[in-house]
């Protein structure tokens, strides 16, 4: 497309004054526009983003999508090609937290200062944000990826299978309002009977969540997964290190786009993906691969917990007391269901643990805001005092 733009610039100068030249220029302009639209559509651009594009007074040629990040240097794909970009100073200084910086999946407005370099001057409002509690004690969130339509929660059936962790992933997906799909990988390592047992366990813990069983080794189940991939939609791979996310992506692409490491016989894997990256599939899907997560911290997501633990939430409405904590209260419908084995005790304990994490995060954020407000008042009083002394 850069070649077409060069031709357009020449045609404006040399032939646009003639009728034939004007017609040629119009045809070339149409071709360039079609090519721009096609590339952007491959990246997920649709009517939703067109509305935001117009609202932010941006042209198609100024728009790009972040496909990877390298210490505040971003690789952005545009209609004209892929380029390196940095954020402009005003965007950097107006950021209140790390979440205000560009993330993989963001649509951004660009200014160009070279054919393959640009400056990110704005981030379009995010449609969805997948985030977790930042690792460590800080009451902050870490953005995993943005503008996601579907998440593929990948668990290995041999060493990584963990129902409690699965529900943590489901919670952050429900918080983001993304549609989760559970992928049980490496099914060639277990028997059909064992697989059936695992699927039943997952179904007991989840409601209305699609479950796919696949094997990169034997290719079993991959055609069903490929059938679920929709052109123009963005999918985010979530899971621990070594569960086969990158190998799965390579199988979907049909090429080794992400390097992988072999897992040892004692199932101690190494991180196979060191950074987040957006990949375009040949059939039109858009995938974001992520490094494996050791921690899946829960932030302020009570609504998401209610969706993830829908059975517990529904039963809690039947408790005698509205503020029932489901511990020792009389008339507790949740405790009754646990005693009757209608709800797995381990699932309830997982719910209680995640709820405590969510409440703690909310209280920590509120406390930090109070301290920031108090600090702001002190600074204001000091500045006011200095001003009075001056006069």
Q: Is residue 133 part of a domain?
A: no
Asked if residues 279 and 236 have their Cβ atoms less than 8 Å apart, the reply is: no
255 in helix, strand or coil? Answer: coil
Q: Is residue 71 part of a domain?
A: yes
Q: Say whether both 76 and 195 belong to one domain.
A: no
Q: Which CATH number characterizes residue 250's domain?
A: 3.40.50.300
Q: Say whether both 175 and 266 belong to one domain.
A: yes
pLDDT computed for residue 145 by the predictor: 94
Q: What angle do CA 226, 227, 228 make, to 5 degrees?
A: 90
CA 386 remoteness from chain centre: 47
Q: Per the structure block, which two tokens stand in for 319?
A: 């408790």
Q: Are strands 63-69 and 74-78 parallel, antiparallel or unpaired?
A: antiparallel
Write down which residue in 264, 289, 314 finishes a domain. 289
Helices (H), 329-391: 333-339, 345-390
Q: Is residue 337 part of a domain?
A: yes
Q: Say whether both 274 and 231 belong to one domain.
A: yes
Residue 217 has pLDDT above 60, yes or no: yes
Asked if residues 145 and 130 have their Cβ atoms less than 8 Å apart, the reply is: yes
Domain of residue 108 covers: 44-125
Q: Which CATH number characterizes residue 105's domain?
A: 2.40.50.140
pLDDT computed for residue 16 by the predictor: 47
Residue 265 has pLDDT above 50, yes or no: no
Q: Say whether both 285 and 192 belong to one domain.
A: yes
Q: Is residue 295 part of a domain?
A: no
Q: What is the pLDDT of residues 277-295, one digit of tens each?
A: 999 998 889 999 988 776 7
| Number of residues that this document lists for the chain | 391
Q: Say whether both 321 and 255 belong to one domain.
A: no
Q: Say whether both 324 and 357 belong to one domain.
A: yes
Q: Is residue 275 part of a domain?
A: yes
Q: Say whether both 69 and 100 belong to one domain.
A: yes
Q: Say whether both 169 and 284 belong to one domain.
A: yes
Q: CA-CA distance, 102 to 122, in Å (whole number)?
A: 9
Q: Say whether both 197 and 250 belong to one domain.
A: yes
Q: Is residue 381 part of a domain?
A: no
Q: CA-CA distance, 312 to 288, in Å (whole number)?
A: 32
Q: Say whether both 328 and 274 belong to one domain.
A: no
3: confidence class by pLDDT, cuts 50, 70, 90? very low
Please name the residues in contact with 269: beta carbons below 8 A apart, sequence gap of 6 or more: 241, 242, 261, 263, 292
Partners of 236 in beta bridges:
151, 288
Write down which residue in 75, 107, 125 finishes a domain. 125
Instruction: Give me Rg for the CA atoms of the chain.
Output: 26
Q: CA-CA distance, 151 to 358, in Å (whole number)?
A: 21
Q: What is the pLDDT of residues 4-60, one digit of tens each?
A: 444 444 444 444 456 555 554 444 444 344 445 688 899 999 999 998 888 888 888
Between 23 and 166, residue with greater pLDDT: 166
CA-nearest of 319, 303, 299 to 359 is 299
Q: Which CATH number characterizes residue 317's domain?
A: 1.10.40.50
Largest distance between two CA atoms of the chain: 89
Q: Is residue 148 part of a domain?
A: no
Q: Look at the chain and report how many structural domains it folds into.
A: 4
Q: Say whether both 359 and 256 belong to one domain.
A: no
Query: φ and ψ at 101, to 5 degrees?
Result: -85, 160
Burial of 201 (0-12, 13-18, 19+ CB in 10 A): middle
Average pLDDT value for the chain: 81
Residue 368 has pLDDT above 70, yes or no: no
80: confidence class by pLDDT, cuts 50, 70, 90? confident
Between 287 and 241, residue with greater pLDDT: 287
Q: Say whether both 211 and 91 belong to one domain.
A: no
- What global pTM score does this model have? 0.79
Q: What is the mean pLDDT of residues 145-164?
A: 92
Write down which residue in 235, 268, 289 finishes a domain. 289
Q: CA-CA distance, 361 to 74, in Å (whole number)?
A: 30
Q: What is the pLDDT of residues 169-199, one digit of tens each?
A: 999 999 899 999 999 999 999 999 999 999 9
Q: Is residue 143 part of a domain?
A: no
Q: How far is CA 310 from CA 193, 205, 229, 247, 304, in A?
A: 28, 9, 27, 33, 9
Q: Are strands 117-123 and 150-156 parallel, antiparallel or unpaired?
A: unpaired
DSSP state of 112: E
């Amino acid at each position: 497309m850069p070649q077409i733009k060069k031709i357009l610039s020449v045609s404006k100068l040399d032939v646009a004054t003639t009728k034939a030249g004007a017609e040629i220029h119009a045809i070339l302009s149409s071709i360039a526009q079609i090519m721009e639209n096609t590339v952007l559509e491959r990246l997920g651009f649709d009517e939703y983003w067109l509305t935001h594009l117009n609202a932010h007074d941006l042209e198609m040629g100024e728009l790009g999508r972040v496909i990877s990040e390298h210490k505040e240097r971003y690789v952005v794909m545009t209609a004209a090609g892929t380029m390196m970009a940095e954020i402009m100073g005003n965007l950097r200084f107006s950021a209140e937290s790390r979440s205000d910086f560009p993330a993989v999946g963001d649509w951004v407005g660009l200014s160009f200062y070279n054919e393959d370099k640009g400056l990110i001057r704005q981030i379009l409002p995010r449609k969805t944000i997948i985030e977790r509690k930042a690792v460590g004690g800080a009451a902050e969130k870490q953005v995993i990826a943005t503008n996601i339509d579907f998440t593929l929660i990948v668990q290995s059936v041999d060493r990584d299978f963990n129902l409690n962790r699965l529900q943590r992933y489901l919670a952050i997906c429900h918080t983001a309002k993304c549609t989760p799909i559970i992928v049980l990988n490496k099914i060639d390592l277990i028997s059909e009977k064992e697989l059936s047992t695992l699927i039943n366990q997952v179904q007991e813990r989840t409601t209305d969540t699609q479950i796919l069983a696949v094997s990169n080794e034997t290719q079993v189940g991959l055609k069903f997964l490929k059938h679920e991939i929709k052109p123009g939609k963005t999918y985010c791979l979530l899971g621990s290190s070594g569960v086969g996310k990158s190998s799965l992506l390579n199988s979907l692409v049909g090429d080794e786009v992400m390097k992988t490491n072999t897992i040892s016989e004692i199932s101690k894997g190494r991180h196979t993906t060191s950074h987040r990256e957006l990949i375009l599939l040949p059939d039109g899907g858009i995938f974001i691969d992520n490094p494996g997560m050791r921690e899946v911290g829960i932030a302020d997501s009570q609504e998401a917990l209610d969706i993830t633990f829908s059975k517990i939430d529904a039963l809690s409405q039947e408790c005698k007391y509205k503020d029932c904590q489901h511990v020792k209260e009389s008339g507790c419908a949740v405790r009754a269901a646990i005693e009757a084995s209608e709800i797995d005790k381990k699932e309830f304990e997982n719910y209680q643990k995640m709820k405590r994490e969510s409440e703690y995060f909310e209280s920590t954020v509120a406390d930090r805001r109070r301290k920031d407000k108090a600090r702001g008042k002190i600074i204001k009083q000091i500045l006011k005092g200095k001003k009075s002394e001056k006069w």
